[in-house]
Every structure is written in structure tokens, then in C-alpha cells.
Structure 1
Amino acid sequence: MGFNLATIASESARSHPGKVAVISGDHRITYAELDQLSDRFASNLRARGIRPGDAVGLQLPNLPHFVIAYFGLLKAGAVVVPMNVLYKADEVGYILRDSETRLLITWAGVAEEAAKGAAQAGLSDLVMVTTPGTTAPRDSVAFESLLAEQPGPPPFHQSDPGDTAVIVYTSGTTGRPKGAELTHFQLFMNADTPGRLFGVRDDDVILVVLPLFHIFALSSILNVCARFAATMTLVPRFDVATVLATIERDRVTVFEGVPTMYIALLNHPDLDRYDVSSLRVGISGGAPIPAEVIDAFERRFGIVILEGYGLSETASTTTFNVSAEDRRVYSVGRPIWGVQVEVWNEHGAALPPGREHIGELVVRGVNVMRGYRGNPQASKDAFTGGWFHTGDLGYVDEDGYFFVVDRKKELIIRGGYNVYPREVEDALYTHPAVAQAAVVGVPDALLGQEVKAFVALHPGQDLRPEELIEHVKARIAPYKYPRSVEFRAQLPMTAAGKILKREL
């Protein structure tokens, strides 16, 4: 049996050839054009030596090139490795090495860090997308060259449904990022099932301001749009005025975002100047959305916000409030079709319903990853009897609606982006004056959480917080570095010599 996830785009090209698939400013691409362009891209990938099963990095902002390359890679049988455009060289290099990437498709706006990371990984094959104001390195390959006509029929690799289609890099609070392997069938099901439950229509226009390299946008927007021939309108960077203008211009019907985006939209001083009457629903994920934000936004915009829950390891959607009529406000909804969720105590026993029975959420079903790329021990540790440990704490009510209340681990969610304390701590420790470092999340009214570092210096050393922040800022992505540093003579420790973060 063969099945390739790119079928969702090809079938929509057959059924809705003239329908607009992608809007980017004044530029529009129909489903027929997307199918043709991704065919050419797949053909030229093959001509460059990319073979089925090869991993290819895709490090682009929300541009039409991402959508074309994504489906072209799948058609060629390649494994897509989405990568954050904010990554620094060390982060790029690690992911390229770990995934054994053969080719990196990146953006000229981040060319310097991308090239350095590629060099660290021993990778010289870079395909570069240029946009106004950016310049590609001389030794890179222009993206447009992979859209040239190729003789003969384009490739459409007949993957096995269980073959890996995408590797999404994630991480716990310690150690290096891990690559969650998601299959063609899993990603199809996590487009088809939520799309049907939610009632996505071919006349929907869905705003894409969440980064496409993130599993939320990749699985829950791009794949869903392609599956149901909806239109996606791309916004490369979140700016409130730009988002509101795009909603008005393109008559956007669905807005999907993280809580900080809803807060920013709600508080924009010129909100009344924009016509947002086309919106029919909002979808929130990535982090718990405060109840007061839901209430205020729904009153102001006259639409409902449907909240869901998922992880990179579960191909995004796991639970969801599917409609205004079938939702439990402030919950993350119920499991989607083919997915089971339970709440376990520390002994692995399922807890009964009720908010007094808080435990770890565990998941099994069609959406759960194959495992972590090249890391059998981490894969083994993540599962118990086929159930995936999410690391999130919550409870379920009598009607099967789940509520997420806290993080079991120390993950910080800053404006919908995951920040892993260990990565920040490693960067802090590269400064010669730092003796001890601990990074925690502190409450923030706009972002949900902000990154704070507690630091003890070596004896005789003197350092200003601003100096240390700049030191870290140069080594990791902009959303990760600490915005505040508190110096202590020493950090609280356990008898075993571990820093007591809970006291901090």
C-alpha cells in the first residue's frame, strides 16, 4: 500500500484547480499552480540527487516558497525537517547533523547563521530564498532554479503510510532537542479528522501568522487547508496592524493563534478602524489561554474561541473543542477521533474525573509519533505500554473534557514559543564569570511567561545583568534569552548538589 501526504494538495488541485490556495500580499497561487510548482520542485530535487528517505531542512518564514517546497519535498519522497528561522549557528548545525540532512533550504535573511551552522554539519548544499532587502551568498543555489521545467513526468513517491514524512525537533527541559518522527498517515489523519470535526470549508480563508515551521501551523493550518481546499493567507511576522489589515483585505474567516496574539489584537488602540466582520471563529493553542482573555475577546469580536491541545510528538491536535455548541469553555476539549487521553498518577494508574484528581496527561492513538530520530532510549523513556507521556499536568471532567493546569517539567512557554531552561543555562555557563545558573519562567501579563535567570558568579568577578544578557543573546534564538538576571551569592542546593529551582 502506498500513500504520500502530498496527495492532499494534488487532490485539491484536481477538485478545485482555480481556487486560490495561497495569498501572500498581492501574490496569489491557485491549487493547480501549487501542484505544478511543487511538481517542478520535486523533479529538480531529484536532479540534485535527493532520493526517497533523504532528510531536507526547510528553514523559511511564512512565504509561498515554504508551501511549494514542502509539497515538493514530500512528492520527491524526502523527509521534511522544519527549522526555526531564528536559530543561531550552533542550533542549526546540531539539527542538521542529528537529522543527517542532505540539503538545507533557507532564507537569505538568516543566511549568515544558516551557513555557519551548515558548515559545522559539513553541509555545503544550500538553496536560498531571497526577498526584497536580502542578498543570497554567492555559493548558494537560487530557489527559483528548482522551479525550472524538467523533461518527463514529475516524481510522486509512493511512500508507505508509516514512513516518516516530517521530523519536528522538540525538547524537554534537559538535554539536546529531539526529532519527533511523524508519518504520512499520522499527518493526514491529523488534517482530515480535525478539519471534519471543526467543519473547515473550501470557502474558508485562514490567516497564517503562526510560523509554518512550527507543528501548530504546519499540521493544523497548512495541511488542513490543503486537505479541504481552503485558502491560506500568509503573514511572515506577527504585527497587530498587519494582521488586522490582512483580515479586512482578504475577508479572513478563521484566525488561529497563541494567547499572546489574542491579547495583542484585543488591546490594539486602532482596532475600531478595521473591518473584522468576516471572522467566524478563532482557534487558540500553543499555551493555555487565560479565561479573561477568552471572555473579553469573544465580547469584542463577536466570535467564539475554540481551544485545543497538542504537542509536536502528537502531530499537533490531540484534544479540541470542535464547535460553539459542543465546547466546554476554558477546557482544551475532548480527544479527537482515533486518540485516547488519560490522566495518570505517579504510579501509572488512571485517575477518575474531577479537578481534585490532577495527574500527567498520557496519549495513545493514530497521532502519536513513531519515536525520536536516532534516539531509541529517549523513545523508550517517553512511552509506557504504548501510552506517550506528555509531561503536562491536568484533569478530566465527568463529560470527558480535559483541562491543562500546569507543566510537569520546567518548560517555559513564552508567547507560544517553547523555551528550554537547559539550553539557556548552557549559554549562561559559556561566560567565564558564571559559577552557577538556573533559568525559570516567571508570570508575564502579555507573554504568559518570561525567561528569568538566577546566577551566582565566581569569587572576585563583577558583571552587570545587561552584559550577561547580551552574551546569551548572541548565542541562542531571540525568544530564548533571559530578559532579567538576578545575582545571588549562591543558589539553593539539594544535598545531592542540584539547584532547587522550586525555591527560586
Structure 2
Amino acid sequence: MAAFSYFTSSLEAWKMPNFTTFLDVNIHYFPVKRALVFPARNEYYTYRDLLNVVNRLGNGLKRLGVKKGDRVCVYLPSCPETLISYFATWRIGGVCVPANIILKKHEVTHIIRNSESSMVITNEQGYREVILPLKPEMPALRNVVIVGGKDIEGETVSWKSLVEESPSGLRAENCGFDDLCQLQYTAGTTGLPKSAMLTHGNWMAAVEAEGWVLGLSENDVYLGFYPMAHVGVSWGISVLKAGGTFIIMERFNLEAYLKLTAQYGVTVLSGMPPVLHTLVNSPPGTEDYF
């Protein structure tokens, strides 16, 4: 069944202060336009595809008992499933808790325990190496969803089965602008990671501001290499909100970055000083890619 919006117009969708309603807006205008591209798997999602899988996952999470206000920890590398998990959690009124894969085991355990996450979405490696051995230290954890793995009775649910067995129709939960939607943990430079509270209104204001400052439109293409557990993912979401295309890199690699920039006609660059320094001081001929 194809994804559809419960809203009859883009204006009606924007009346709902749930951050994900921009997806409902965009399928009215750009249903078959590429929203997400993941070159590592030669994979892409149109805006219709994206809302489809977000809705299916959201319904699957609800089926597993996730309710408005519940915490869902997303412990994955940079890939489409990471962003889809964020959107699905927000769409049903849940609170997303990103956990960076570069963190140490005790830091991930602290994030899950401190946030009182009732669910973790991870891959097989994350489950076997971190979640399973340390599960007794996570008292609130009830469900584990595995990306790229199989159902393990009594232990985990596979992402694939959860999505495939759920319907694609899902109305966004009615949330207020001040309703919590994310706990963003800091790097913890002076101790264990500490959470910053982000609301639906915070996210709406952030992407509106980024879109306005950069003059983003549906013609823009953003190549993102930040870890998707980092708030830098907001640049990609801002481009999606504008109707553009978000290309996801697993990690920064200069040669791959230059090739993808040329291949997809990237128009938006964001990076921390070391990355910009690398681009500025790259070998002669690099400018031909831009």
C-alpha cells in the first residue's frame, strides 16, 4: 500500500505542531522526487517512499507499546534507517535519544539508563557487543529492534519484519511546540554525557532558520558526513524540509566526498574547521568538482 497523508492540503498539515508534518507537506509537492540517497548501498527514497517507511515504522513502534513521551534510543551508524527512526519516533510523539556509535560501552549504557529508554534501535553488532551484555544495567529497556538482523524470539524484533507487517497510514500525533521530542546527549568532556532537551518547536525553529539563512529550496542537494547522532544532522533535515535531497555518507573520506559532490551536483556544504581545511588544501584539480 502506498504512503498517503491524512491531510488534504499542505496548509492543513502545517496546522499540526508535530515536527514531521513537513513530510506530509512534501508529498503533496514532490512525491516522486528523491529525498534520501545512500550511495554505500546504491539506495534512494523518494518523498513518498520516505513517508511510507516512516509511517510503517511508527505503527510498528506503537504496536510494540511505544507511547507519546516514551524514549527510543537510536544506536546506529549513519544510514537511512537512523533518520527514519528519528522521524518515526517523533511522528508518534515519542522522544528520540541518539547514541553515537563512537561512544564507549559504558557511555551508551549510561545514555540508555539515564534517559529511561524503553526501546533501542540498533544493528546486530550494537546488540551483541553493547546491549545484550549490559542489558541488566538498563532497567527500563523492554524492546530491541535490529536493523539488518532477524527476529530472536524473546529478545529482539527485526526492523524488516516490523516495517513490512505494519500499515502505511499514520496520522502524526498531536504535539505542542513545547513537547519534548529529543534528548541530545553531549560529548561529556567533564564526565558522563549529559542530555539537552529539544522540543518540536526547537526543531521547527532550527530548520526554518537554517533554511532562511541559506536560502534553501527544492533544488538544493546536501552531502552529509556528520555522525547522524550529532546535531549536525539538522542541516540534512533542513534541506529535506525545503524539498531538496539529502545524501548520506557513512563517514568522511575526501576522495569519496569529491566524487559524490560531482555526481549528485551537491549545492550545500557544511563542515567543521578540520574538514574545511582539508577541502581548501586538497590536491590541485579539486576545484573542478565544485
User: Rg: which structure is higher?
Assistant: 1
CA distance in 2 between counterparts of 1:124 and 1:166 reads 19
- 1:232 is matched with which residue? 246
Q: Give matches, 1:132-143, under 5 Å.
A: 138=152, 139-143=155-159
Q: TM-score, normalised by structure 2?
A: 0.86
Residue 277 of structure 2 corresponds to residue 263 of structure 1: yes
Structure 1 residues 172 and 104, CA, compared in 2 at 3 Å: closer, same or farther?
Answer: closer
CA distance in 2 between counterparts of 1:188 and 1:224 reads 9
CA distance in 1 between counterparts of 2:281 and 2:255 reads 11
- SS of match in other structure, 2:232: helix
CA contact (8 A) 2:53 2:168 kept: no
CA contact (8 A) 2:221 2:268 kept: yes
Structure 1 residues 137 and 119, CA, compared in 2 at 3 Å: closer, same or farther?
Answer: farther
Structure 1 residues 137 and 34, CA, compared in 2 at 3 Å: closer, same or farther?
Answer: closer
- 1:157 is matched with which residue? 173
Deviations, residues 212-267 of structure 1 (Å, cap 9, x unaligned): 110122x2x13202211110001001111111111111111111111111222334
Q: Could you tell me which of 106, 110, 115 is aligned with 2:132?
A: 115
- 1:68 is matched with which residue? 84
Q: Could you tell me which of 195, 201, 208 is aligned with 1:185?
A: 201
Residue 115 of structure 2 corresponds to residue 102 of structure 1: no
CA distance in 2 between counterparts of 1:145 and 1:137 reads 8
Give the % identical residues.
Answer: 29
CA distance in 1 between counterparts of 2:167 and 2:220 reads 36
CA distance in 1 between counterparts of 2:65 and 2:200 reads 22
Q: Could you tell me which of 198, 212, 219 is aligned with 2:214?
A: 198
- SS of match in other structure, 1:257: coil
- 2:289 is matched with which residue? 276
Deviation, 1:155, is: 4.1
Q: Could you tell me which of 129, 133, 144 is aligned with 2:147?
A: 129
Structure 1 residues 49 and 243, CA, compared in 2 at 3 Å: closer, same or farther?
Answer: same
In structure 2, give the amino acid aligned to 1:19: K
Structure 2: 5+ residue runs without aligned partners? 1-14
CA contact (8 A) 1:245 1:274 kept: no
In structure 1, give the amino acid aligned to 2:137: Q
Q: Could you tell me which of 20, 25, 37 is aligned with 2:53?
A: 37
Deviation, 1:197, is: 2.1
CA distance in 1 between counterparts of 2:81 and 2:166 reads 19
Relative to its length, the structure with more helix (as a share) is 2
- SS of match in other structure, 1:126: strand
Aligned residues: 270
CA distance in 1 between counterparts of 2:185 and 2:238 reads 21
- 2:102 is matched with which residue? 86
- SS of match in other structure, 1:49: coil
- SS of match in other structure, 2:32: coil
- SS of match in other structure, 1:91: helix
- SS of match in other structure, 2:229: coil
In structure 1, give the amino acid aligned to 2:61: L
CA contact (8 A) 1:161 1:183 kept: yes
In structure 2, give the amino acid aligned to 1:127: V
Deviations, residues 61-114 of structure 1 (Å, cap 9, x unaligned): 221111221111111111001110122221111111111101001123433124
Q: Give matches, 1:272-421, under 5 Å.
A: 272=285, 275-277=288-290
CA contact (8 A) 2:94 2:181 kept: yes
CA distance in 1 between counterparts of 2:30 and 2:101 reads 32
Structure 1 residues 172 and 96, CA, compared in 2 at 3 Å: closer, same or farther?
Answer: closer
Structure 1: 5+ residue runs without aligned partners? 278-504
- SS of match in other structure, 1:127: strand
| RMSD of equivalent CA atoms | 2.2
CA contact (8 A) 1:205 1:253 kept: yes
In structure 1, give the amino acid aligned to 2:260: T
In structure 1, give the amino acid aligned to 2:201: F
CA contact (8 A) 2:147 2:159 kept: yes
Structure ranking higher on relative contact order (CA contacts 8 Å, 6+ apart): 2
In structure 2, give the amino acid aligned to 1:213: A
In structure 1, give the amino acid aligned to 2:271: G
CA distance in 2 between counterparts of 1:2 and 1:11 reads 11
In structure 2, give the amino acid aligned to 1:42: G
CA distance in 2 between counterparts of 1:5 and 1:23 reads 21
Q: TM-score, normalised by structure 1?
A: 0.51
CA contact (8 A) 1:129 1:143 kept: yes
- SS of match in other structure, 1:215: coil
CA contact (8 A) 1:118 1:124 kept: no
In structure 2, give the amino acid aligned to 1:87: L
CA contact (8 A) 1:88 1:117 kept: no
CA distance in 1 between counterparts of 2:45 and 2:187 reads 35
CA contact (8 A) 2:107 2:192 kept: no
Deviations, residues 121-173 of structure 1 (Å, cap 9, x unaligned): 1335211223xxxx679443221122124358424210111100111012665
In structure 2, give the amino acid aligned to 1:229: G
Residue 37 of structure 2 corresponds to residue 19 of structure 1: no
Moved more, 62-71 or 33-42: 62-71
Deviations, residues 447-477 of structure 1 (Å, cap 9, x unaligned): xxxxxxxxxxxxxxxxxxxxxxxxxxxxxxx
